[in-house]
Structures are given as structure tokens and as C-alpha cells.
Structure 1
Amino acid sequence: MMKKVLFVASECTPFFKSGGLADVIGSLPQYLNDTDDCEVRVILPLYSQLKSEYRALLSEVMIYHTEVGWRQQYTGIFEMIYEGTHYYFVDNEQYFKRDNLYGYEDDGERFVYFSNAVIEFIYRGDYKPDVLHGHDWQAAAAVAIAKIKQPVPGIRTIFTIHNILYQGWMEHAAFGQLFNLDMVHFSGFEWDGMLNLMKAALFHADKITTVSPTYAEEIRTPYYGEGLEPMLNYRSGDLLGIINGIDVNDYNSMKDDSIEVPFKTSIPKKRQNKKRLQKELGLPVSDAPMFSIITRMVEQKGLHLITRILEEFIQQDVQVVILGNGLYEFESYFSYLAAKYPGKVYTYIGFSESFSRKIYASSDFFIMPSLFEPCGLSQLIALQYKAIPIVRETGGLKDTVMPFNLYTGKGTGLTFANYNAHELLDRLNDSLVIFNDPTLYRTMFMNITKVNHSWSQSAHQYLDIY
């Protein structure tokens, strides 16, 4: 019998994106629906950022009021079918008509409202899912409330941790003010003197997943667990790590309109892209290896390692292209480096999807030395565009990048274990040895062409859980 699964999430490509969560919610349902073993639908907030081309596809399903403590908040439900997947959108301008998706003092209230509205929609609507699958803290309350209120008798719940750092902390008083639940359920939400929405999902969910096997092990330790490791160890029998995939039809170096010279296994064609990018960015057009850093500029991404050694490394015949934004500390450092070394370093503060793809397709190497990384999509995209990843062995980076072995010729990247700047520098220097040896470089390049990080295998692991 086909399972009906409702994904509850706060972002989804192509509608709204702030990070990798949106890519997962945008692509995984497509693969699951193609299996004919389940039907996945997705429910999202209706943010003001939804482009007019997508708004034109919306149709109204219902209007009702959602209880948020003593208040009755307007809720509109709209739907569309896009590329074969059914999407619902929760409309409330007070909570979602804002300049950004997140970053507000009332974020906790916004997503508790969203969760309440989702459960009310299941009660009221014709669509009755067998499984409610919540993603990250913004959907955590929906998982807990679904288990408590049972909007469909016997409904099963899954909660996926995409990044345990962000948990949805709230004051105790919010329980009475927002949830409309009996106080007997308070302990399921309380953690370390506050309410914690992610903890509530971990406590109530039937199954818990996260986005790589290594991260599933790491978050059960104090170093990575961000204070929730006791709960994760308590639920360890229900915790599973499933590596993220990517949409390999979208990230495809043969079909991507963002790149000028399509390529698959041709090193000369890939290097034509590099020469065109060099010319476009005002870098010397040369055979020097190009290294790229495409990232959110936050400590998690290992940028403190990069800032310690990058100026030393670029004294050699190399070029570095940097794209991203975030903390001023890192933005200013990379801007300074580009100003000081205009023939070696190019920095773009901001983000452009098409420009990022052009950089991946032009780069010989991609640098991602994360402090922690639940899964990571950037290294998977780099592999798709044949940019050799240089990564730290943590979380999904460890699970998706096989260290290159000079003797066996096996491996798809250069890796290091400890969070240490000089270990990173050693791998960067190793990359120059490989780049300057045509046989070694071609061996690595061809290894990467055989990598498959589509959703096909991971989708079947989700099907097994459903």
C-alpha cells in the first residue's frame, strides 16, 4: 500500500532558500515520488519572498483560525503542483511577510504557530498523511504536537536533524502562551531550564534521522551534541544517519546553462571554463591551479583554519576564488586578501547561484575544512563539477569524500583529521604535487567522474523507514 508522507519544512527550492535544507526539501520528494512506493507532499510557510511566477500557480484550499494560546490567528492554506509534487503553503502575513526567512526575536512563536497550523490543516482537510516527517527545529513542534494530538489516528512521525546547532530555545512561559497543550506534556518540551523545540521532537518522534552516518555518531558525543547528546543516546535505537543526495540532473556539468563549456570527462574542456573565468575576473589567464571557497562565512565552515594559512599558501603559483557572505571578520579578511593580491585572489561578498556553479566548473580544487558538517552539499556539488575537494574528516564530509591514496590510485579528494591549520596546509601543498603530475591528476579526476551522489540510494533508506 502506498504510504502518504507529509514533509513539514521551513524552506524549499525553488521557492525559498537560505541553506542546504532547501535543496534537500526541493529534491528528495521528487525522488521518493518517482519510486511509486509513497506519495510525498510538502507544507511550507508562505513567505513574502515567493516569486510572482510561483504565486500565479497557487490556489486557495481553505481558511481557518489557528489557536496560539488565547489568540485566534488567521491561517490560509494554498496549494500548487509543481514538477509533479504537491505543495501546500501556510499563509499568515503577521508571521511570514518579512524581509528575511529567519533572524527575528519571535522566530520561536512564528514556527510554533506554523506547526499548530499544520496540525489543524490535517484535522480539517481531506489529505490524511500516514507519516508526518518534520525537518529541523522549525518543524520540530509539528512532530511533537502530531504525536500528542493524533490528527490522524495512528499517525507516525519522523524528525530529521539537518543541523543540531539550531534548536529553537524558548522561555518556559511560552508553553502556556503558545501551545494549547495540557501541562502534563510540559516535560516533553523542557530542557536545561528552558523549552527546546528540537528536544521535543527527539522525545516524541517515532524515528529520528540525520543527514550522514558519521554525524549520527558524532552528535551522541558532548563535542558535537550541543547539549542534546543525552537525549540522542536515550533514543539511539531509533536514530539513523542517511547521507544526503543532490539533484544530479540540476547539478550537471553537461547541461548547466551557467557554464560556458559543457564537459563530462574532458580535462581540457573543464580548463577552458577556468580560462574564461580568469579573463572575466581579471585574473592572469594561466595554467595555475585554481582553488575555490564557496561558503557561508561562519566559524562552522573552518574559516579560522583558512585565515591562518591562506596568505602563506598563495605565495605559490596559485589562484583562489572566494564567494560567500556572513560574519564581518571573514568578509573583511577575504576582501583584504583580494585587494592585496589582485592577481591571485578574487573575492565576491554575497551569493549568486549561477556564479557559484561557474566557479565550481572552473576550479581545480575546492576547499571545505569544516569544524563540523552534518552532511554538506558543497562538496557534492564540487564533485559533480570535477573540482577535487579538500576537506576535514567530519560528518558528511568523511562519508562522501574518500581520501586519495598515492599507491592504490583510489580516492576522490584530499582529507585531514584534526582541526588544525597546518594539516590543511599540508593537504593544500599535496594538491600542488598532484596537479603538477598529469598522471596523478588524471587518475583523481577520473575517479570523481564515477562518483554518484544522487538521491537514489538514500531515498530507498527513507522508504524502508516509512
Structure 2
Amino acid sequence: MTNFLFVASENDAINNCKVGGVGDVIRDVPIQISDRGDQVHVVVPSYSRLHLSGKLVRKLEIELKGETYVSCIYEVPGKEARSNITHYVIHHPEIEAGNIGGIYHHDEEPFFTDVVKYIIFCTSVAEAINRGVFGKLDIVHLHDWHSSLLLFLKNYHPEYKTLERLRFIYCIHNLALQGIRPFENSYSSLKNWFPEVNFSYEDLRDPRYPDCFNLMAMGIRFADSVHTVSPSYKQDVLLPSDAPEFIGGEGLEEDLRKADKDKRFHGILNGSNYHGLNEIKKNQLFQNIVTTIFRQLQNESDRSKAEFLAHTGEKVVPLVKKKPKFICASVARLTEQKFYFFKRTPESLLQILDRLAEVGGVYVLLGTGAADYESLLRDISYKRDNFIFINAQCEKVVNSIYRDSDLYFMPSLFEPCGISQMLAMRHGQPCLVHHTGGLKDTVQHVHTGFTFEGKTYDEKVYNMVESFKEALHFFHNDKTTWKQIQLNARNMRFTWKKSVDEYYRLLYSSNNLEVQIA
């Protein structure tokens, strides 16, 4: 039996610990590993709340800033009990709940608060490994920059030499977020937290900011194997970025090319969960939206937010009884990655809404995020009756969007893998996506959905609108082709079994590890 430890910032296998796709991966991959008969431990931060339902396993004394910090590791229940999987959280007062989904912080200084809390978290995990909390480990699978400090501790910290015998795998979920902070002269600096540790500045240095360390770069440089969450995103990040026409390696392309040359770098497509599809009731979308809005109104003290909720409710209530003739929908965090085209060229969204209005259609967009994106979408909601902006998070509404919409829209500037298109396709919903990253690997034009691309930014935006018109044309004028696209989408299977087979073959194998693929 191989003993695994998964270290991440999110875990949707426990309650209230998910913002994005990382949570889905950390929920689903351990299940596949445990089904093969191997043991999996999963650890995430507590964010000042997740430990409350847990059982204290051990207090951990760690040296940080020249002081002794005491953190606690708790075993917590999963949403479902699974043999061979154990879930843990690390609690410390400075590992705070963030203002993004109760997990991440959005600071004026990028990553200031998050780097601090993940330093405490990772050092606590290293101490838990030292103390044998997870038993005799074989493989540690790290996810994004939030966990990569373990590789700094492995390489430079004299207290954590035990980490050297373990095989470390590093997963890049989103290369655009790198955890960059100064080496010195900041509360969040490496020297502040590890004043007595001797390390190589050059090994940790950010390629663009020489006075800063880069946690994403640490993962790429020091892990035994590195992987992205789709084959096409791997190819993208080997090239330099030329934003906004192309988002590639974001300054780390040389590190990634070296890892690729060393045969340490792989692109493996994420999977999707295909269980329980029939549990989501059909034709509940607008009812669920109304319920969500009224619940929020009862608790909303901000007058402007309450007014917008009431405005949205007024548009949705009539749709409960009279369904629109076409429903386009999106679910995403409101960020540059997801909606840059709308922010820079709002006319493109207005053109899409006008075309929808001609056929009696609506566009439902659910999400929260950056203030400027929220403001833009609220303004457009006031201008267009058929734009329904749900500025909230609600799992029932999200599930109904995947179940009840006619077209799922993902105009991402870049996309490492994307999970939403898979969730929509499993219900037979065609997707309209930007032909980039993992979206290339999952959506085929006029076969399982629709795509757009272009050599210049203006060409991309123009083609986005034209592809939307093309999708509407097939829906209204070529029902035979539309139904075939729906069937093709429903029949696609991006299974985690296939993905984890590749994990075992490409990532988990080593000279002293027997690899078995179920």
C-alpha cells in the first residue's frame, strides 16, 4: 500500500472549503487512489472555522520569526465516509478566513495576507510529517503555490530533513497566481518568517522581480514531477505571454521548459464526476434564483445591494411561470481570467444580449469577485432586461444552471482546464468557449459545442460574437444538428479514473515505488 498526502488550499470533500476547481480535484482524486487500495491523507487550512467540527489530533510547535508558534491539526469528517481517506485541517489564529469565499484574501498588496497564512500552514504540515501524524508517507502531492513552501522547507530547513525521503508532486492549477512577495523588509517576507534559515536567493528568485521570491517557481523548480491540469495548457505555458492576445508562461516559461527538458513536466487533463446526475431536478432554475434572492434580501443591510437584489428579483419572478425561449448561462468568479473580454469591450456583451432579445432569450450569469467586474455587470443588468446577473453564490442555482440552460458560455481569456464546461456537457448542454488551454481539449466546434479564437484581440472579440450567433442559428434553424451536438456533449466522458491512471504512470512512479494501475 502506498501512503499519500495531499496538501492544498481547498477541499470540497469537507463542508465550506471550496471556491474554485482546486476543491473539486482534491475531492475526487483521493477517491480514485483509495479505490486502488492506497491510503490518502488530505490536509488544508482551517480558516478559523473548519476545525470546529473536528477532533484534535496534535498540537504542533514550530519555529517562525524566531518565536515558537503553536498550531493544531484536527481530523475532520468528510461529506461522505470513505475507507482509506482521512481529512485534516490546520488551525492557527493567523490562518484567517479570507474575503473571497471565506478562503483567500484580496489585499492591496498582492498575496500579503495569504502568503503569511500559507507559511504557517505549510510549516505546520511539515511538523506533522515529522511527528508521524500521517504515518509513513511515500508521496506528497502539492497543489498550486499555497502548498509549495514545503519544498523550501525540504531543501533548506534543518528541522525538516525527513522530507527528503518523500516523492513530491506539484500540480499547477493556475499559473497566473504565483504567490510573489519580497525576500526582506516586509511582514510577509521570507527573512521575517525564517530569519535563521540559510537559503539560496537565486534558487528562489522571481524572474521579473529580483527582490522577491516566487512560491509557484519553487514548486516548479524543486518538485520531483510537475503537471498542469490539461495537455494544451502545458503547451501554452511553455511559451511567453503576450497579453491579452496570448496568456502563456507568465514569466516562468524558462523554468517550465527546463522541467520539460528534464522529463519532469506533464500535461494531464482533469476529470469530472458523473455520479448523481439525476438528483438535480429539471426546470428549477428560476425558482431557485428567486429563493436565493429573497433569502439574501432578508439579511442584506447595504441599501444599494438590496436595491440590486430587488431589481434582479423583479426580472426573474415572471420567468418562473414563463420560461424563456433560450437560456445562455455562465458560472464563474468575476476576474480578469474569466471575463476580460466583457470588461474591455462591454459592447460585445451588449451585442450578445441584443441578439438574445430578438429570439426571446436570456443570459444568466452567477458570480462574485472583483469590485470593478461586479459594478460593470450590475450596470449592464440595469440596462438590459434579459441579462440576469446573480451577484451571489448558491449551489442549487449553480446545479440548475448546468441542468436547465441551453448554452453554457465560457469566454475565458485563458483556462488551465476548466470544470464548468465538463459539468454542463454531462447534462447534454453545448458550450461556447474560447479556444484556449483545457477548453481546446474538451470542446470541439460544431461537434460538442462552439469555439472562437483569433490572432488579435479584436479578432477574438468579433469571433466570440459571431460564434454566439452561429450557436443561436443552429438552435433555431437546424434542430437535427443541434440535437446531435447535445448528444455528443452528453456522451463525452472526462473520467477521473483515466486521469489518475496517468498520475500513476507519469507522476507517482519512481525507482523504489511499485506502480499498479487498476
The bucket for the TM-score relative to the shorter chain is 0.7 to 0.9
Q: Which residue of 1 aligns with 2:429?
A: 387
* One-letter code aligned to 1:330: Y
1:215 and 2:233 correspond: yes
Looking at structure 2, the residues matched to 3 and 207 of structure 1 have their Cα atoms a distance apart, in angstroms, of: 17
Looking at structure 2, the residues matched to 175 and 328 of structure 1 have their Cα atoms a distance apart, in angstroms, of: 30
Looking at structure 2, the residues matched to 281 and 454 of structure 1 have their Cα atoms a distance apart, in angstroms, of: 38
* One-letter code aligned to 2:94: Q
Decide whether aligned partners of structure 1 residues 200 and 314 sit closer, same or farther in structure 2, where only a CA change above 3 A counts.
closer
User: What is the aligned counterpart of 1:443 among 484, 489, 492?
Assistant: 484
SS at match of 2:272: coil
SS at match of 2:227: strand
Looking at structure 1, the residues matched to 169 and 113 of structure 2 have their Cα atoms a distance apart, in angstroms, of: 25
Structure 1, residues 212-253: CA drift from partner, whole Å, max 9, x if none?
A: 111111111111111111111111121111111122215x2x
Q: Which residue of 2 aligns with 1:267?
A: none
Counterpart mapping for 1:159-238 below 5 A: 159-173=170-184, 174-179=189-194, 182-192=197-207, 193=210, 194-223=212-241, 224-236=248-260, 237-238=263-264
1:285 and 2:287 correspond: no
The Cα shift of 1:86 comes to 0.5
Q: Which has the higher strand share?
A: 1
* One-letter code aligned to 2:382: A
Indicate the percent of aligned positions where both proteins have the same amino acid.
28
The Cα shift of 1:358 comes to 1.1
* One-letter code aligned to 2:92: N
Is 2:170–2:227's contact at 8 Å kept on the other side of the alignment?
A: yes
Q: Which residue of 2 aligns with 1:31?
A: 32
Looking at structure 2, the residues matched to 162 and 112 of structure 1 have their Cα atoms a distance apart, in angstroms, of: 19
Is 2:48–2:92's contact at 8 Å kept on the other side of the alignment?
A: no
Q: Which residue of 2 aligns with 1:453?
A: 494
1:87 and 2:87 correspond: yes
SS at match of 1:302: helix
Decide whether aligned partners of structure 1 residues 324 and 240 sit closer, same or farther in structure 2, where only a CA change above 3 A counts.
same
1:137 and 2:145 correspond: yes
Q: Which residue of 1 aligns with 2:296?
A: none
Gaps of 5+ in 2: 242-247, 291-315, 509-518
Range that drifts further, 427-436 or 27-36: 27-36
Looking at structure 1, the residues matched to 228 and 426 of structure 2 have their Cα atoms a distance apart, in angstroms, of: 23
Q: Which residue of 2 aligns with 1:266?
A: none
Q: Which residue of 2 aligns with 1:268?
A: none
SS at match of 2:495: coil
Decide whether aligned partners of structure 1 residues 92 and 277 sit closer, same or farther in structure 2, where only a CA change above 3 A counts.
closer
Looking at structure 1, the residues matched to 77 and 405 of structure 2 have their Cα atoms a distance apart, in angstroms, of: 37
The Cα shift of 1:197 comes to 1.2
Q: Which residue of 1 aligns with 2:279?
A: 255
Is 1:67–1:73's contact at 8 Å kept on the other side of the alignment?
A: yes
Structure 1, residues 107-144: CA drift from partner, whole Å, max 9, x if none?
A: 21221121111111111125121111110111011133
Q: Which residue of 2 aligns with 1:429?
A: 469
Is 1:323–1:350's contact at 8 Å kept on the other side of the alignment?
A: yes
The total of aligned residue pairs comes to: 438
Looking at structure 2, the residues matched to 287 and 444 of structure 1 have their Cα atoms a distance apart, in angstroms, of: 21
TM-score by length of 1: 0.88
Looking at structure 2, the residues matched to 348 and 302 of structure 1 have their Cα atoms a distance apart, in angstroms, of: 15
* One-letter code aligned to 1:435: F
* One-letter code aligned to 1:47: Y
Is 1:158–1:208's contact at 8 Å kept on the other side of the alignment?
A: yes
Is 2:5–2:139's contact at 8 Å kept on the other side of the alignment?
A: yes
Q: Which residue of 2 aligns with 1:319?
A: 362
The Cα shift of 1:386 comes to 2.3
Looking at structure 1, the residues matched to 27 and 437 of structure 2 have their Cα atoms a distance apart, in angstroms, of: 22
Range that drifts further, 277-286 or 240-249: 277-286
The Cα shift of 1:182 comes to 4.1
Q: Which residue of 1 aligns with 2:131?
A: 124
* One-letter code aligned to 1:357: N
TM-score by length of 2: 0.79
1:367 and 2:409 correspond: yes
The Cα shift of 1:304 comes to 2.1
Structure 1, residues 151-180: CA drift from partner, whole Å, max 9, x if none?
A: 255211111110011111121123332236
Range that drifts further, 413-422 or 150-159: 150-159
Is 2:118–2:146's contact at 8 Å kept on the other side of the alignment?
A: yes
- CA RMSD of superposed structures (Å): 2.3
Is 2:97–2:104's contact at 8 Å kept on the other side of the alignment?
A: no
Counterpart mapping for 1:238-277 below 5 A: 238-250=264-276, 252=277, 254-256=278-280, 259=281, 261=282, 272=283
Q: Which residue of 1 aligns with 2:374?
A: 331
Counterpart mapping for 1:395-434 below 5 A: 395-404=437-446, 411-418=447-454, 419=457, 420-434=460-474
1:9 and 2:8 correspond: yes
